[in-house]
Structure 1
Amino acid sequence: MHSSLSSMTSKKLCNCVAVPLIRRHVSATHQAATANATARSFLVRFIEERRKRSQQDDIRLEPYLSKGVYTESGAIRPMPKRYPLGIVKVLLIAIPFLYIGSLVSKYAALGLEKMDLFVYSDDDDDDDDDD
């Protein structure tokens, strides 16, 4: 009697606790594997599409890479691409950043001089006046 009661309790315990835990673990493992597989397949697809697109770009640029006005067949090449207001765009970017860079270096030099890490000395100019 005692052994049958013990076996029923262990079966109940197994069905109520162990089986759901195992199912949950198997399901989580399967979901993780599926998620990894989808991420991997997405990355593989993305890389292949990028490679194809870059190869297409290379094919389109091929006639422009060789020098000269004429192609190998003797045809005149199309006009090069023009950028509207190109020099204005360059100046609108270059001038403010050059100014900001000069301000940063000026204040950095002042800070170094204030901390006595870098002190500008005029010793060379004073030697010329003594002669």
Structure 2
Amino acid sequence: MKVPYEYAIIQAVPRIERGELINVGVLLYCQRHDFLSARTHLDEARLRALDPAADVPAIRTALDSWERTCSGGGAAEQMRLGERFRWLVAPRSTVLRAGPVHMGLAEDPAAELERLSDLLVR
């Protein structure tokens, strides 16, 4: 049986003043299955095409923190899954941000996250 889920694309915006971005991950939340996870993939060549001086190690570290937040690491330890998702998709002016939240239906949220990662990021 398909159930609703929410997802957002994680975007890298290395030079905020220019507004150029690349997709670097997908964040997916499914309340019915108590599922929250992120899949990230940083294409360094694409990033450097937007900003040759981009701090790639710092961006990779920040991407890892998105995945840790999903699993309850750090400050998110006491948050419920829905709270973590809302925290991650909140608007921000940083090198990494979440795009708009979209909805979908899927039987298996983990498989859907992989499908969306392949389609939208890799």
Instruction: Tell me the TM-score range normalised by the shorter chain.
Output: under 0.3
Point out the structure with the larger strand share: 2
Decide which structure has the larger Cα Rg and report it. 1
Give the TM-score normalised by structure 1: 0.16
TM-score where L is the length of structure 2: 0.17
More contact order relative to length (CA 8 Å, sep ≥ 6): 2
